[in-house]
Amino acid sequence: MNRSGSPPDNYCRPTDQGFEQRLRARLDEIRKVKSKSVSESRGDLMRCALSMITLALLAIPLEAQDQPTRPPITGIAHVRIYSTDIHKSLDFYSKILGLPARSGGCSGVSSPCFIINEHQQIGLSQAPSAAPASLLAEVAFSTTDVAAMRRYLLAHNVPTSDITREVNSLQHFALRDPEGNPIAFVQHPGLRLLAPRPKQAGSRMIHVGFMVKDRAVEDRFYRDLLGFRMYWHGGFKDADNDWWEIQVPDGTDWIEYMLNIPANANAKERGTQNHFSLVVPEIKAAVAKLKADGLQTTDAPEIGRDGKWSFDIYDPDFTRVEFMEFKPVKEPCCNPYTAEHPKP
């Protein structure tokens, strides 16, 4: 170093011609080593992440096995009605409706029942001495796998009865919905039961209606848990919801919430609300048939707010039996239909 403190002219300069090339080569090696280390670290992280993802994916099927899936719910299987006078009810359902009667064996009911078709029945039960508020003793739905349906409900903390198997191989179990309405699930045997008679008033039960206090509570059960889907809703006024119709998830039968019913409704009003409906191809012909079989009435069919032709009659205990055509003949009030209509 000179005294002035300035570096000499050859400071850090190569002392031979190949120094610069060797220095550059060494720097390249260092860069490659660092790059490899980073790549290896990234590779380790990726392998770790992939292992965690694989474990998570393997755990999903195990979790799914702990939560049974819901089997199909294909339609309404039966409705059971309380009767205060079985003999009067027998006359009504067999003579006026023309339904073939059986002394027992319909969906586990030992009391009289009536065949609508090979998969649907109406049952009668003697009403207790203190008649219940609702004379709908039970509404049952058809499923393809009654054991799987029971497992599904139990997995979601819904208590049910045990499964009962009848002599005709029909299986069913009972439970109550959130508002205490008695319902059941039925699995029919593969064999064909009784076919509808040509002279009966209707050959298919298309829906069942019952009084509901809290629509949201019932929807959490029927729509969220069981998968029922919206069909139509409307009211006496366009902005109201007095009727809330939801179809079974794997068919076109439906249940109808009868909303906004006074708590002090009398027996006749409750019977009007808690009802079931038989579908007919042509309402006027059906009414003529009912009158020919002994129905005494001056009422006539009418087009309801849902746009469909319908006609109501009442059994001896005021339970309403509604007759309805398959499709609307005009636009409904209030809201459009949002699901497929049933077909003949």
* pLDDT tens per residue, range 31-66: 554 554 444 555 555 565 555 555 455 545 444 457
How far apart, in Å, are the Cα atoms of 244 and each of 196, 234, 235, 248, 257? Answer: 29, 7, 9, 13, 5
pLDDT less than 70: residues of the chain: 1-65, 103-110, 190-198
Q: Pick from 189, 165, 162, 182: which is nearest to 173 by CA?
A: 162
Q: What is the mean pLDDT of the chain?
A: 84
For 304, phi then psi, to 5°, come to -80, 180
Instruction: Please identify which residue in the block is written with the tokens 């032709």.
Output: 309
User: Are the beta carbons of 320 and 272 closer than 8 angstroms?
Assistant: yes
pLDDT of 167: 73
How many other CB atoms sit within 10 Å of the CB of residue 27? 10
Question: What distance in Å separates the CA atoms of residue 333 and residue 154, rounded to the nearest whole number?
Answer: 39
Which segments of 44-170 are extended strands (E)?
Answer: 73-83, 101-102, 113-117, 120-126, 136-143, 164-165
3-class SS of residue 15: coil
Question: What distance in Å separates the CA atoms of residue 125 and residue 108, rounded to the nearest whole number?
Answer: 12
User: Are the beta carbons of 230 and 246 closer than 8 angstroms?
Assistant: yes
User: Domain 73-191+199-325: what homologous superfamily?
Assistant: 2,3-Dihydroxybiphenyl 1,2-Dioxygenase, domain 1 (3.10.180.10)
* pTM of the model as a whole: 0.79
The upper half-sphere exposure of residue 252, i.e. CA atoms within 13 Å in the direction of its Cβ, equals: 13
DSSP classification of residue 250: T
pLDDT of 111: 72
State the pairing for strand pair 205-211/182-187: unpaired
How far apart, in Å, are the Cα atoms of 325 and each of 207, 223, 274? Answer: 12, 25, 19
Q: Pick from 104, 107, 81, 277: which is nearest to 185 by CA?
A: 107
pLDDT of 6: 40
pLDDT of 199: 75
Q: Pick from 86, 89, 81: which is nearest to 315 by CA?
A: 89
